[in-house]
């Protein structure tokens, strides 16, 4: 029997398995994280009036908190995140955490039924939106810079 045929088949199977391994453990989770960033941007742009006006409904605040937790969950699914974050210019773990903290802060600040004692509610929301934009590298408003 010709061993070169067997070696060719084993090489092909090995390359296929390694390719699937990289695809499922690295590329798919990165795409999922970037998809959540897109959801975040679309959500903030769609609900900008209610968010900046601090007149959000419970559904809006729940969605803000859901997106925040989803971002952190998707980041945890990426093996060797610091390496891929550097290579693909994704936010660092620290920036992700700070961005999600800003999201949670907005989630509480925009709710008109919750007492806000941090000064001007509207300035706090705008400040946190700038933090989100900077830390997560996403567009959350229509302001041209």
pLDDT single digits (tens) 81-138? 999 999 999 999 999 999 999 999 999 888 877 776 666 888 888 899 999 999 999 9
| E strand or H helix at 101 | helix 93-109
Contacts of 108 (CB under 8 A, 6+ apart): 61, 114, 116
C-alpha to C-alpha distance for 124 and 68, rounded to whole angstroms = 18
Degrees, nearest 5: CA angle 124-94-32 = 95
More confident call, 117 vs 24: 24
Share above pLDDT 70 across residues of the chain, in percent, rounded to a whole number: 94
Please report, for the chain, the start and end positions of each structural domain, with discontinuous segments joined by +.
26-136
C-alpha to C-alpha distance for 47 and 141, rounded to whole angstroms = 10
Q: Measure Cα distances from 95 to 15, 19, 20 in Å.
A: 35, 30, 30
The predicted structure's pLDDT at residue 52: 87
pTM for this model (two decimals): 0.84
């Amino acid at each position: 029997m010709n061993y070169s045929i067997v070696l060719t088949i084993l090489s092909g199977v090995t390359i296929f398995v390694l390719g699937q391994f990289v695809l499922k453990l690295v590329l798919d989770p990165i795409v999922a994280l970037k998809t959540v960033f897109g959801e975040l941007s679309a959500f903030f742009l769609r609900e900008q009036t209610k968010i900046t006006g601090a007149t959000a409904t419970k559904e809006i605040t729940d969605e803000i908190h859901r997106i925040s937790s989803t971002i952190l969950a998707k980041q945890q699914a990426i093996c060797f995140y610091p390496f891929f974050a550097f290579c693909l210019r994704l936010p660092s773990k620290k920036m992700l955490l700070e961005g999600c903290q800003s999201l949670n802060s907005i989630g509480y600040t925009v709710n008109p039924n919750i007492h806000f004692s941090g000064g001007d509610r509207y300035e706090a929301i705008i400040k946190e939106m700038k933090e989100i934009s900077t830390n997560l590298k996403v567009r959350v408003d229509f302001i041209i810079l």
